[in-house]
Amino acid sequence: MAETANPAHGPSDGETRRDFLLYASSAVGVVGAGLALWPFIHSMNPAADVLALASTEVNLSAIAEGQAITVMWRGKPVFVRHRTEAEIEAARSVNIDQLADPQSDEDRVQQPRWLVMVGVCTHLGCIPLGQKPSDPKGDFGGWFCPCHGSHYDTSGRIRKGPAPLNLPIPEYAFLDDETILIG
Amino acid sequence: MSAASNNKIVKWVDERLPIFTMVQHSAVEYPTPRNLNYWWNFGSLAGFALVIMILTGLFLAMSYTAHTDYAFQSVERIMRDVNYGWLLRYMHANGASMFFIVVFIHIFRGLYYGSYKPPREILWWVGLVIMLLMMATAFMGYVLPWGQMSFWGATVITNLFSAIPVVGEHIVVWLWGGFSVDNPTLNRFFALHFLLPFVILGAVVVHVWALHTVRSNNPLGIDVKSPQDTIPFHPYYTIKDLYGMGVFMMFFAVFLFWYPNALGHPDNYIPADPMVTPAHIVPEWYFLPFYAILRAVPDKLGGVLLMFASIGVLAALPWLDTSKVRSCTFRPIYKWFFWIFVADTFVLGYIGAMPAEEPYVVIGQVATAWYFIHLLIITPLVGWLEKPKPLPESISSPVVKSGAATEAARNAA
């Protein structure tokens, strides 16, 4: 052990100190590179002007019973439908346990007359038909996606076809009886 | 395989594609003269600056719109709305200046230590090609924000080609894709500005290839004679280059965070207006010496030719310099002329920024004349007439001898 009397110059000690310096400087380098990388990655996230347009106000007063309109929200179509009593009845009389994506109609609306949902098929992103009176509405009187044949009911739930989920409900709120704010 | 790894995957790959061996040879073992000083940091710094420019440029391109109606707004959107867009744009704009600072120092280092002399002529030429590509890239990049300086800079520089006899006007119309600098010009400049950095990258690979063939010059300017004269690149010069990078990044950060617009021109924050020329058009600082040479000649074609000649003459330097000695350290007379030449380029840069009136015109003409006198007359003449100082026997001998001397002195004490 006499050789290690001067530890600063001992061969084994020199190795560990060099190792320490190598690991320490590598760690600093990796952390620094990671920090430097973040602005680059974050620059690809939605910019301030994009986020500023992330909510949409919709006036419901002009939509008559049985009519539907499509509004643009975050670059996607949102279906707003003024449902008839028969449509609401059809949506509520379904046995929920038989659905592919079980969800009650009550959970999908804030006011039964107004169905608000993102009009993008949950299969591969096409826009289902059913907004216009002349459109095919599928076997369940709601919407029909022409791309791969998914059928949605009057609550926008998937009933038949390859789509796995119901049409999603966006975050929205009634500002007053005739206005909603989506997003 | 010489790669110091027993890893089976590394071996498997290396036997099929010797990429690890290549890295080992060129970045680890590469025998580097042991006496390189800090002026040798600027090569790796230039490579670092190129990487910064390509990275920031790529991400800026994702938010930029190359159309005369949207370009200016899209740049302002980058500044205000895109996350860290201000940082990316300021890094890119100031990074261009940093790149030129580093490359100019790199070139002056080559001039002082005679790095252009045999056998490094092609290495030198590839370097000059890189500088020309950088200038073209920087010019076209400056057009993209579509401010007043962008537009009028593009107009003035493309009009240089109209000085060519007979076909000049046709060439300019072809460059513009129209009858003035307009949307087609902006579109093609964006396409080329995206392409050229990768061409530069390719030229850098050739530059490094040539370097590793003829090996690095060194401050003594004498050839490596024995393994004693060299040390492996890693860890000695990797760590030294990293240290230089740290200092460089601090220098960069001062401009980036405190004076991000100091090297730019305020007029470029005015949207391009083809109907109004700014009162005082000045190129970016890195073009100023060349701009001064252009203006020194009261003749359109003559000025353009002289400006291109100022770089062309540098390509002939390996033959214009008749000295047998590379490094100015051993050239007592030429050393002074080197520093006068450096000062001359600074004078040219200053004149380039001044308006075209007296006394600047005469000073610019004298400085331009000296630029060419230095390269075409002084350099060959001094090479013949000067008596260089005696060269050391080898790169290691001064070190080894002085080491032996101190050892002897210590023993004596």
In this predicted complex, what is the ipTM?
A: 0.84
A148 is an active site residue: yes
A5 lies within 8 A of chain B by CB:
no
Note whether A49 contacts B77, CB cutoff 8 Å: yes
Q: B63 to chain A nearest CA, in Å?
A: 8
Q: Which of A40, A42, A45 to mutate to test the interface with B (most CBs of B within 10 A)?
A: A40
Mean pLDDT of A104-114: 92
A133 lies within 8 A of chain B by CB:
no
Residue A145 near residue A163 (C-beta atoms within 8 A): yes
Per residue, the 3-state secondary structure of A47-84, as one string, reads: CHHHHHCCCEEEECCCCCCCCEEEEEECCEEEEEEECC
A35 lies within 8 A of chain B by CB:
no
Q: What's the CA gap between B277 and B154, in Å, rounded?
A: 12
Residue B218 near residue B35 (C-beta atoms within 8 A): yes
Of B55, B62, B81, the CB nearest to A49: B81
B193 is an active site residue: no
- What is the three-class DSSP state of A42? helix
List the one residue out of B124, B102, B117 whose CA is nearest residue B44.
B102
Note whether B55 contacts A47, CB cutoff 8 Å: no
Strand duo A56-59 + A179-182: pairing = antiparallel
> What would the pLDDT profile of B329-357 be if each residue is shown by its tens digit?
999 999 999 999 999 999 999 999 998 88
pTM for this prediction? 0.86
B405 or B256, greater pLDDT: B256
- On chain B, the residues whose CB falls within 8 A of the CB of A49 are 77, 81
Of A43, A47, A49, the CB nearest to B88: A43
> What would the pLDDT profile of B287-329 be if each residue is shown by its tens digit?
999 999 999 998 889 999 999 999 999 999 999 999 999 999 9
Give, in order, the Cα–Cα distances in Å from A15 to each of B6, B235, B236, B249. Answer: 21, 15, 17, 30
Residue B147 near residue B181 (C-beta atoms within 8 A): no
Note whether A43 contacts B85, CB cutoff 8 Å: yes
> What would the pLDDT profile of A13-72 be if each residue is shown by its tens digit?
557 888 898 899 899 999 999 999 999 999 999 999 988 888 889 999 999 998 999 999
- On chain B, the residues whose CB falls within 8 A of the CB of A47 are 63, 77, 81-83, 85
A98 lies within 8 A of chain B by CB:
no
A61 lies within 8 A of chain B by CB:
no
| The pLDDT of residue A109 | 93
Mean pLDDT of A79-93: 92
